[in-house]
Amino acid sequence: MPSALFSEDFFALWLVAYNFLIVFNFVFFVSTPGYGHISPSTKYGRSFCIVYALIGIPICGILLSALGEEFKKVKDKILNKVNKSFKKKWQRNVVSILAVAGIGMSMFIVIPAIIFQAVEGWTYHEAWYYCFITLTTVGFGDFVPGRFLPRVSP
């Protein structure tokens, strides 16, 4: 294995880029998919949404920051165990990257897909697809949670 590819500097830079990507996706993208099937129709409803967003978005940022700190603690514990288990630096780096990516994938796609499968009655593949499409903010609208719930007329 080329030592430059798995150097400590490369790994540190990768972790910074990965953490930035996670924060960027959650703060800017997770809240942006608009499936267009529900929206306020009165000026009071629209005004409420504006006020709610002005208050809710900063609170969401604070929450994500706090969650990030907790996830970092878990990640550090895992990386410490990995560093003790593997002798070669490149092995530690590869296993660390796979562990962090695996945990992120589990938390944001695999586990939510299981929940959507149970709640929405979708197949696991449909639920996984929905989670991925939503996290990447594509949001086609072909799968929307609660779409088949009975509607209440105003």
Question: Which among 122, 150, 149, 148 is positioned nearest to 134, based on CA atoms?
Answer: 122
According to DSSP, residue 152 is labeled P
d(CA 38, CA 24): 25
Structural domain count of the chain: 2
Q: Is residue 129 domain-shared with residue 94, that is, in the same domain?
A: yes
- Most confident region among 10-14, 31-35, 104-108 by mean pLDDT: 104-108
For 116, the domain range is 88-141
Do 49 and 63 belong to one domain?
yes
Angle between helices 8-24 and 43-85 in degrees, nearest 10:
160
Please tell me whether the overall predicted TM-score, pTM, comes out greater than 0.75 for this model. no
Q: What is the mean pLDDT of the chain?
A: 75
Q: Are residues 58 and 102 in the same domain?
A: no
**pLDDT per residue as tens digits for the range 60-110:** 788 878 878 887 888 788 888 877 888 888 888 888 888 878 887 888 888
Does any domain span residue 113?
yes
Q: Indicate if 51 and 74 belong to the same structural domain.
A: yes
